[in-house]
Amino acid sequence: MARSWPPVLALAAAAAIVPQTAAAEVESAEFSPTHLQQLVGLDDFTYDSDWFPADAPVQLRLIVHAGNSVMIDMPGDGLYDWETEELTFEGEPDGGRFGVDVGFTLESMVRFDVAGLTWESDIIGPYDYAVISETEFTPYLLEGNPDRPATIDDMTDPVTLVEVPVTPDIIVASGHLDIDIYLIIEGELRGDAIEVATLDPKAQWEVIVEEGAAANLNPGLGPQPDPFSVDGVLFAELTTEPTIVLKPTLVMTILGKDYEIADIDIPVTIPAFEDTIQFSTINMAFPRPPPPPEPETTGASDSGTDSDSGTDSGTDSGTESSASGGSASDGTATASDTDTDSGGFDGVGEEGCACSAGLDDRSRRGPPLWFGLVVLIALRRRRARD
């Protein structure tokens, strides 16, 4: 009779044969917020120095139209772990860029009132000038980021922007105007938070405020929708304060006498900007991992069949011992075996009929052995009388 494996061993054998599901993968999607904004336009800010020095015979007037823009670039990736259902963000090392673009136009005028001679020039210029100051960092400048805040603290070298002769229509007067400029740019950028949410209308926004922290997002049962879509928004604090410094030098010769305006620094501060920047929403798509393979049910049955050596060996040994004992292959003793060879009877006796067969097997064997012995003795006595 075949022997079955206990359920626990059968399950263990199946687990050993069936391939295990591969570890869940971490999928990445680009998350590179960018921001370009004109903080102050040339039409928004005008500086007029008015005539200076006050009450001087020779005076100068400067008019500045200035503006500034900011450029922010934060390349990186969102990383979704399918096993833990967590979303983290990783910025590109030293890939971030924070720049302030300052530009202006400069106009100037000259006038004098000397010994009854008066004159006022037309507008000299305009002259255009622009400069960009920037710094690099690793996004996303959240708490814990060693590059937080990204700062710009720059002062450019002086350059000569204006260098023109001053030629009044009065023969007894002439002059020359030079204007040097340099810029002082201060700016600071720090990340506040990254807010993320699934496309489910009922989903709540999860907030990440520390660099490398994770947000738990349930991707749903799947397999649809595929890919798993998540929206992300970066918030950052931005401050800028550019200053233009003008250094004019005006030398006029009127009626053989020199008049000079020099060694004056005129700072022109563009309105400071300080506010929270909300970057555009970025959608991230994370492909779902393939489903795990179906369990190989044939592995358990094969294992049980192959490993059930007890069944085969029990059957074989039972058959062989029955054959040697004069029994049929199914272990049942027949009358002809018993009658023809007493050795066969002795063989059965050696086994003692103590085979592993149960009561059902014994019930199929027919009359007990002692019955055959009685018949044999009776036959011999009858032959002796005859």
CA torsion 330→336→341→344, rounded to 10°?
20
Which residue would you say has higher pLDDT here, 51 or 15?
51
157 Cβ partners below 8 Å, 6+ apart? 182
Query: What are 148-200's pLDDT values in tens digits?
Result: 999 999 999 999 999 999 999 888 999 999 999 999 999 999 999 999 999 88
The one-character DSSP state at 156 is P
Q: Which of 52-66, 100-114, 222-236 has the lowest mean pLDDT?
A: 222-236
SS3 sequence of 167-184: CCCCCCEEEEEEEEEEEE
Q: What is d(CA 90, CA 196) in angstroms, rounded to the nearest whole number?
A: 14
What phi and psi, each to the nearest 5 degrees, are found at residue 83? -80, -45
For range 342-365, the mean pLDDT: 44
What phi and psi, each to the nearest 5 degrees, are found at residue 14? -65, -40
Residues 151, 188: contact at Cβ < 8 Å? yes
Residues 94, 146: contact at Cβ < 8 Å? no
Q: What is d(CA 10, CA 2) in angstroms, rounded to the nearest whole number?
A: 15
Residue 16: both structure tokens together: 């050993």
E-assigned strand segments in 22-149: 26-30, 34-48, 58-73, 76-81, 86-91, 96-114, 117-120, 124-137
Query: What are 273-288's pLDDT values in tens digits?
Result: 999 999 999 999 999 9
Residues 308, 3: contact at Cβ < 8 Å? yes
The length of the chain, given as a count of residues: 386
For range 352-366, the mean pLDDT: 46
pLDDT, averaged across the chain: 80
What phi and psi, each to the nearest 5 degrees, are found at residue 330? -90, 10
pTM of the model: 0.67
- Amino acid letter for position 23: A
- Amino acid letter for position 299: G
Q: Concatenated DSSP letters for 82-104?
A: TTTTEEEEEEPTT-EEEEEEEEE
243: confidence class by pLDDT, cuts 50, 70, 90: very high
pLDDT at 344: 41
Which residue would you say has higher pLDDT here, 202 or 216?
216
Distances (CA, A) of 185 to 9, 134, 272: 76, 10, 11
Half-sphere exposure of 373 (CA within 13 A, CB side): 9
Q: What is d(CA 222, CA 201) in angstroms, rounded to the nearest whole number?
A: 17
Q: What is d(CA 31, CA 53) in angstroms, rounded to the nearest whole number?
A: 55
Query: What are 69-110's pLDDT values in tens digits?
Result: 999 999 999 999 999 999 999 999 999 999 999 999 999 999
